[in-house]
Structure 1
Amino acid sequence: MTPSNLEPDQGELHSEINMIPLIDVMLVLLIVFIVTVPVITHSIDVQLPRAATEASAPQPQAVRLSVDAQGGFHWNDAAVPDAELMQRLHALAQQVPQPPLHLEGDAAARYERVALALAAAQRAGIERLVFITQP
């Protein structure tokens, strides 16, 4: 080996980015943000006014109308004849606020009986009807 091979080439340029100043600047910015953010969020203490209105009225209890496998109607677990069903639905529709009607149909019930209950609720003016199913 000749001595010229042991020395680094003087003709090549080695370009490297010096990361130390960049890291120093980023750390300073991070510390500034950590110190100033809590001060900014808690700098104004505002006393909010209380509402002058009354609390909202409690919602009425839902009524459950069930159609069993034989096609019978049940109003909150009490058997109801077909003739009385329409009267109860009209009375329910007149309540203010109107409670929701939960309609439950047995899987073995004939569709005609469930459709009859649905049509009766519509004729009575029930606006809040919920179909209950098994998940």
Structure 2
Amino acid sequence: MGASTMPRAGASRRGRRQRRAMSDINVTPFVDVMLVLLIVFMITAPLLTVGVTVDLPQTRAEPLPGQDEPLNVSVNAGGEVFLQDSPIDIAQLGPRLEAITQNNKEARIFVRGDRSVGYGEVMSVMGAINQAGFTRVALVTEFQEQAP
């Protein structure tokens, strides 16, 4: 029989190199976790916006469907007017809305009036918005559950 080309058990492997330990960091799991966290924060950040505290009246009407994010104009219990979270004079409300919406008169605007504020004060805010040319204005209420 001829000589075998297979190394014997216990023979050294002279022709092969020893593999060194890999000292690189695998960043793929890190990137995956960061992307998931980015998505979570992108979804939850708009939900964490803090608004003006307003005690809204209640109604049984269903919410209006809509695709774009509306602007909020609020009237608090003291009769102060707020655009989003910033206090604003009612005379400056129209020009500020035009600047924010880039003169898009179809932008949705939600008016939130405190329950204790007079009807006339909320209507003066709606009048200022309407005078600026905005037509998609809605009053915001809290949904009231029906008693069984």
- Normalised by the length of structure 1, the TM-score is 0.50
Computing the radius of gyration over CA atoms, which structure comes out larger, 1 or 2? 1
- Normalised by the length of structure 2, the TM-score is 0.46
More helix by proportion, 1 or 2? 1
* Larger RCO, structures 1/2 (Cα 8 Å, 6+ apart): 2
